[in-house]
Amino acid sequence: MDARVDSNFGTRGICVQLSWNGGASWTSAKATPNMSTSFVQYTLGSASDTWGRSWTEAELSNANFRVRVTDVSSSSSRDFSLDWVPVRITYGP
């Protein structure tokens, strides 16, 4: 994802979780390191990372698959900017 934060003060990051059942359940969160005030590309996961579970084809459907993005900061006055969240799924037997 491409994201930035308005200040380098304190803890500042984004957490991402995936759902396979329309948002009823979520994977454990993966977090960015402390974010920059400039737009930076952050990659969470990899082609071999299953995010802690076994996936089925049906769970990757538009009705079931969800991405949740949460900002995390030690300050309640942080402003986060998120430009885009691309998702690449590598699925095969």
Tens digit of pLDDT for each residue in 10-35? 999 999 999 999 999 999 999 999 99
Write down the pTM of the prediction.
Answer: 0.91
- The whole-number average pLDDT for the span 37-53 is 94
Predicted confidence band at 92 (pLDDT cuts at 50, 70, 90)?
confident
In this structure, the chain runs to a length of 93
For residue 93, the model assigns a pLDDT of 64
Strands (E) across 1-93 are located at 2-5, 12-19, 30-31, 40-41, 66-73, 80-84
- Mean per-residue pLDDT for 42-51? 93
d(CA 38, CA 36) in angstroms, rounded, equals 5
